[in-house]
Chains A and B, each alone.
Chain A
Amino acid sequence: MTIQMFEKPLGMRDDFPSIVKRKSKLSKVGIKIMEQFGYEMLQTPSLEYYETIGKISAIADNQLFKLLDNQGQTLVLRPDMTSPIARVAASKLLKEKMPVRLGYYSNVFRAQLREGGRPAEFEQIGVELIGDESLYADAEVILLATEILRGLKVESGRIVIGHTQLLQEVLRGYGLDAALAEKLRAEMVAKNKVAYENMVDTLVDDAEAKSSLKMIMNTTRLEDWQQWIDQTDPVQRSLYEDIRKLKTILDRNGLADFVTYDLSFTSHMTYYTGMVFEIYGEGSGFPLGNGGRYDGLMKQFGLHVGATGFSLRVDRLLEAMPAEQENPEQTLILYNEKNEENAHKEAEKLRTAGTRVTLQFAPAVKAQEEFSSLFSKVIRMDGENNG
């Protein structure tokens, strides 16, 4: 029985002081940059109704932590921040202030399905820009995300950009029936080139369509996209024009070498309606974050406005951030009963001067040598000699 008290539920982690320190630095840097871009921080409750947030969020049902409140209503621990923020934004209060810029630094919960190695609770830092349908809003959130990465000194980041609506229009342009187009899209979501190519081979009859469809999963540059864009189709033309303008803005901000334009990049989340992106960095085997335009989600809250945003995973950012070298000075004052008052005075003096001081009643420490070795400076006020 006693053992169980020391165990944690699957995927739950303790943060030791060194991690807490890095996290607090990360949040300080991130929040400052978001505020500089005019975003206001928002906090929402950890618990939400399953019927609204649980069902609307794009997280699979079996990854939700569910519980019952005392009325018998099903609640969920929030699995993401985008849907709660959309809920808030749909309230009357914010509706009149559109476009509204909101930022967050919050923990979210996703139950573990398989083995460990992944946290079931983790922090996300991100923004939502609600009430702006223009490509300039999309450009703003991408630039903001990269600014945060720069602020955290995450080097060698890479962004992959796709466009869900344009992809759908292109597939539709081949005259594929909706079910087949959806199947092809599903293989793109699964990142399964083998199955995608096999499917095109067996299900598409026209030889020309076959060879050009097969190439979609190989695009890396925006210029590559042109061969699939039907310039006579006004929708495709204007969507492509948008993403071309977006590229111009990103290039102008020095991102030309950091962005891959992959027409087949898309998301399993069906509420994404436009530009989608994902961010990668060396040091983490998993994406650092992702984002995109999700006008579809706002519609579910009865709001016909554009919305775009991103979220970055704090645990993965910590893996990609350079290791901290600096070790701040930490002074230890060991005192005995006689010097107690003087020790407090000394500590106060040093603290006012900006030094970190730990006050410790010497007789209470069993292993004084080991304990003292944790500090950069030791002041003995317990009647013993320094050193």
Chain B
Amino acid sequence: MDKLTIAMPKGRIFEEAYELLVKAGFDLPEELDDSRKLIVEAPNEGFRFILSKPMDVPVYVEHGVADIGIAGKDVLLEQGRDIHELLDLEISRCYIATAGLPDTAMDEMTPRIATKYPDIASQFFRSRGEQVEIIELNGSIELAPMIGLAERIVDIVSTGKTLKENGLVEYDKIVDITSRLIANPVSYRLKQKRIDEIVERLRK
């Protein structure tokens, strides 16, 4: 059996996704989470997991160094890569929203948006006919309105707790997010039977 390389996001999504695979009856080694390894083999299934930053999963899959992968819809929307989106795993549910300090308006001349998702943010505001300036940040986006870098942020909201703790309120919900099973277009065709079978088992 050919080895199937699966790109997995490190961190919170990993645990949920791993559990999902185990539940679907895949014979995987236990205790991967505390390992610092970047490549983990699951010899009984012929799987090789590569553990990467969530943002990088679609990169590995698009270039074909991973056959399939598990990626958040937020990352897929932001990057628009050429991959097959095969299944909604319905894990890591959250949504992308705009937020800011309560009762504030956007600057009329130069409305500024801080975000990890420049493409999603700019598309959203453009669809409302607003042209905004995007400031790309890599984390702790909530800081931006608090210290006057931007009037609004565009970010992931799961419980809303982080926003509340920092005195921010949500303004518009943009899109719902869950994790998806994705596949490289070449791998999908060359190993279609095997990949389709994984999809079917995960669907149940």
Residue positions of A touching B, CB distance < 8 A:
117, 156, 158, 160, 190-195, 198, 218, 220, 260, 278, 280-282, 284-287
Contact = CB atoms under 8 A, between A and B. Distances in A.
A280 B87 contact: no
27 contacts: A117-B63, A160-B189, A190-B85, A191-B83, A191-B84, A191-B185, A193-B85, A194-B85, A194-B86, A194-B87, A194-B88, A198-B88, A218-B196, A260-B189, A260-B192, A280-B186, A281-B186, A282-B190, A284-B64, A285-B62, A285-B63, A285-B184, A285-B186, A286-B64, A286-B185, A286-B186, A287-B185
Given A284-B64, A285-B64, A285-B65, A195 B85 contact: yes
Interface string B77-117: 00000111111100000000000000000000000000000
Contacts of B65: 285
Contacts of B152: none
Which of under 10, 10 to 19, 20 to 34, or 35 or more describes the interface residues of B? Answer: 20 to 34
A117 B196 CA distance: 29
A104 to B, nearest CB: 24
A218 B180 CA distance: 17
Interface in B155-204: 180, 184-187, 189-190, 192, 196
Nearest to A156: B190
B64 A193 contact: no
A284 B85 contact: no
A280 B84 CA distance: 15
Contact of A193 (B82, B86, B190): B86
Nearest to A319: B64
A160 to B, nearest CB: 6
A281 B190 CA distance: 8
A287 B189 CA distance: 10
Nearest to B61: A285
Contact of A284 (B180, B186, B192, B196): B186
Contacts of B190: 156, 158, 280, 282
A117 B65 CA distance: 13
A176 B187 CA distance: 33
Contact of B87 (A193, A284, A287): A193
A319 to B, nearest CB: 10
A195 B88 CA distance: 9
Interface in B34-86: 62-65, 82-86
B189 A158 contact: yes
Contacts of B192: 220, 260
B195 to A, nearest CB: 12
A287 B64 CA distance: 10
A160 B189 CA distance: 8
Given A194-B87, A285-B62, 15 more contacts: A158-B189, A191-B82, A191-B84, A191-B85, A191-B185, A194-B85, A194-B88, A218-B196, A280-B185, A284-B186, A285-B64, A285-B184, A286-B64, A286-B185, A286-B186
